[in-house]
Structure 1
Amino acid sequence: MEKRCVQAPAAVPSVRMLALAGALAALSCAATLTVAVPTPTGGYVNPGDAVVLLGAYVLGGGWGAAAGALGPALADLLGGYGIYAPATLVIKGLMALAAGKLYRRARGKIWAVAVCGAAAECIMVAGYWLYDALLLGSLAAGAAGVPGNLIQGAFGAACAAILAAALKKNAWARRAFPSL
């Protein structure tokens, strides 16, 4: 009698990836809610984008997008910005997807974190500009949030770069996250 090893199909996510994505979604939600510095445009600057980007670098585009979309959208719901939750879900998901895919293509080169972070944050700035324009009925009115979002993007990309550099120096993190 022949023994066969039953393997899960490739489409079935691993428990490890689900757990990491869930943890990073929760961490990005917490980072967004706990340290929120209001901007004059009605938004706020927070370290949530740093976690979104770091998740994209660690998990890759797909899983990073799932974690990066869910955590900040939940933060919008919990933080009283529910009208932004649908946009955040899409914008942060696209942001993390782009950062993760670009980072994989760059194969972890030293410049990759800065370039991938900047590209992803451009998606965030443009996405919220367009969403604000939709809400306000004018591209010019929607542009009022761009300066605050540029600050948010720069802060998030810089924090993600610092965190990624620190993790790359840690032996355990290099073994746990070889793609970083």
Structure 2
Amino acid sequence: MVNKRKLTTRDLIMIGMLAAVCVLATSIKIPLPTGGMVHLGTAAIFITGILFGGVYAGLAAAIGSAFFDLLMGFSPYTIWSFFIKGAAGFTVGMMARGLWPEMISGDRWIFKAVLGMVLASFCTLGGYILAWWAVLGSVTVALGNSPSSVITSGIGLIVAMLIAPKLRHVLDKR
């Protein structure tokens, strides 16, 4: 049976707040010599997925990442980020929690969360290689930006695995 739950006002408020957290976390960045950047936005997306599921994480990641690009002058990447980061958030959330915050994916959620984050990292890497290639016009430059994506995803995974289990424990008790 499919859970046909609809978005409520509370859901929209939570998604908006989580999108704002994504923007703020993405603002915490370290520029790399390749022109890319390492930031904590991916960690925020991963944590959101682990805590709140695919719908919240997908929408918050899509909106927050796209808004960051618009706010910071990366407008050629806005639509790319919307879909790439939205898919990444949805992937992590579905693997770790299910569609909605109320759904629990069982006692092996940590394994599922790590698998979801790895899959989301590959999705992000592939998506941004295409985005960089399309925007910059060079596959060589796009591939040169790949290390920043891998580092950002790796840091995001580590930070999420340090923080999310504690927060999930607290939220699951509610």
Q: Which moved more, 1:72-81 or 1:137-146?
A: 137-146
Select which of 52, 67, 75 maps to 2:60: 67
When residues 141 and 44 of structure 1 are mapped into structure 2, their CA distance, relative to the original with a 3 A threshold, is closer
| 2:43 alignment partner in structure 1 | 50
| 1:175 alignment partner in structure 2 | 173
8 Å CA contact 1:21–1:59 kept in 2: the answer is no
| 1:82 alignment partner in structure 2 | 75
Normalization by structure 1: what TM-score?
A: 0.82
| 1:99 alignment partner in structure 2 | 92
Q: How many residues align?
A: 164
| 1:18 alignment partner in structure 2 | 12
Alignment of 1:141-152 (within 5 A): 141-152=141-152
Q: Distance in 1 between matches of 2:120 and 2:107?
A: 16
Aligned residue for 2:67, secondary structure, equals: helix
Normalization by structure 2: what TM-score?
A: 0.85
Q: Could you tell me which amino acid in structure 1 is paired with residue 8 of structure 2?
A: S
Alignment RMSD, CA only? Answer: 1.8
When residues 42 and 108 of structure 1 are mapped into structure 2, their CA distance, relative to the original with a 3 A threshold, is farther
1:15, CA displacement in angstroms?
2.4
| 1:165 alignment partner in structure 2 | 165
8 Å CA contact 1:41–1:144 kept in 2: the answer is yes
8 Å CA contact 2:50–2:168 kept in 1: the answer is no
Select which of 27, 33, 36 maps to 2:21: 27
Q: Distance in 2 between matches of 1:60 and 1:164?
A: 12
Q: Which moved more, 1:12-21 or 1:124-133?
A: 12-21
1:27, CA displacement in angstroms?
0.5
Query: Structure 2 unaligned runs (5+)?
Result: 99-104
Query: Structure 1 unaligned runs (5+)?
Result: 1-9
Aligned residue for 1:60, secondary structure, equals: helix
Q: Distance in 2 between matches of 1:62 and 1:168?
A: 17
| 2:102 alignment partner in structure 1 | none
Q: Which moved more, 1:98-107 or 1:155-164?
A: 98-107
1:50, CA displacement in angstroms?
1.0
Aligned residue for 1:40, secondary structure, equals: coil
- Which structure has the bigger radius of gyration? 1
Q: Could you tell me which amino acid in structure 2 is paired with residue 134 of structure 1?
A: A
